[in-house]
Structure 1
């Protein structure tokens, strides 16, 4: 595998090469780091410390992932499992309803106006809405959304929440260039989720 960036390849092609080389899958952070190591110019080559850079990098990657999922499905090459914790190409299974179900996240990430129209204030507002919703009594849902674990809250385990917490802390810790505000939000969300799901 060539580690250098090929400008003729779409971002989804770079992602597919990296996923093919990692059959067990990769986390979002690992994938971003590997794309940067390849000097991929499709994502910002800037530290993920800035909220807006982090949002744009995340958005561009997930846009590529949803496009790749559709392409793999159409060619019957496989099914792309997409989550921040593990992104993995699984074997194609005909007749699966996975893609026929309406997916609001897919709609969001395939709408490039969401990327164009979101500025630094919007990203800050998203973080602030987490705090206001928590104070308004929606703390569990707000915490799950911050952790990106709101899909199946009833099947969540304490171990899974802890794994996600560790991943988010390593991504957003100020010692690694993250923001103190974001880390405080993550710690608060973890406190809330421990009340609902136990300490394990």
Structure 2
């Protein structure tokens, strides 16, 4: 893990405090951090599920550290969500007990019972997450979004997904070929590359359908 990147990210977010008080989505925040004068992420930051997860994790890690810092000083309450990150008005400072003066212990203390804060504050959770883990997380995410357990995709859905990802329906699908076509298709339609959100969502949906199908072969 590049600790200097983590430090630069925290410093940059401090400079963006006025933006956070107005509220901003995670996607727009990352877009800001990709551009000068910050230039913390390159064009590969959202290239594929693993890179996207790593970028997301680092941003949320820094945000949760700031949440603690601002909560402790009474500067405000930082609400953190993918759709909106917002620094709310002043709150009363929260003192760290004397026995928790160590930085890591202080983070643990102020994170309290918030499982998301505990997760993102622990960089080991980033280091230990593989591409396969991210694929599983995405699959679980889509299951929850659907509000039900996904069955085996029907032929019509699978054929449509193959068309979106430019896959030959007659070919034997492998995880590597699926990932390669997914990345290529997403790059073409990603909003950062001149595409639009609707097309990107269709590519992600197609990937989910075929990934679900592949896991059941």
For structure 1, which segment, 115-124 or 45-54, has the greater mean C-alpha deviation from structure 2 after superposition?
A: 45-54
Paired position in structure 2 for 1:183: 205
Among 30, 33, 38, the alignment partner of 1:32 is 30
Of residues 30-39 and 60-69 in structure 1, the stretch that sits farther from structure 2 once superposed is 30-39
The one of the two structures with greater contact order (alpha-carbon pairs below 8 A, sep at least 6) is 1
- Which of 49, 53, 56 in structure 1 is aligned with 2:47? 49
Provide Cα deviations, 1:84-135, integer angstroms capped at 9, x if missing partner.
1111111122389xx675111001101111100111111112223346x56x
State the alpha-carbon separation in 2 of the partners of residues 53 and 109 from structure 1.
16
- For 1:171-193, what per-residue CA distance to the aligned partner results, in whole angstroms no more than 9, with x for missing partners? x7961165855234789xxxxxx
Task: Report the more deviating stretch, 9-18 or 61-70.
Answer: 9-18
* Structure 2 partner of 1:125: 136
Which residue of structure 1 aligns with residue 80 of structure 2? 82
Distance 2:111 2:122 in 1: 18
Of residues 12, 15, 28 in structure 2, which corresponds to 1:14?
A: 12
User: What is the RMSD of the two structures over their aligned residues, measured on CA atoms?
Assistant: 3.7
- With 42-51 and 178-187 compared, the bigger mean Cα shift is at 178-187
Are positions 1:103 and 2:114 aligned together? yes
More helix by proportion, 1 or 2? 2
**Shift, 1:142, TM fit:** 7.6
* Structure 1 spans left out of the alignment, 5+ residues: 1-5, 144-171, 188-200
Q: TM-score of the superposition, structure 2-length normalised?
A: 0.55
Contact 1:19 1:25 in 2 (8 A): no
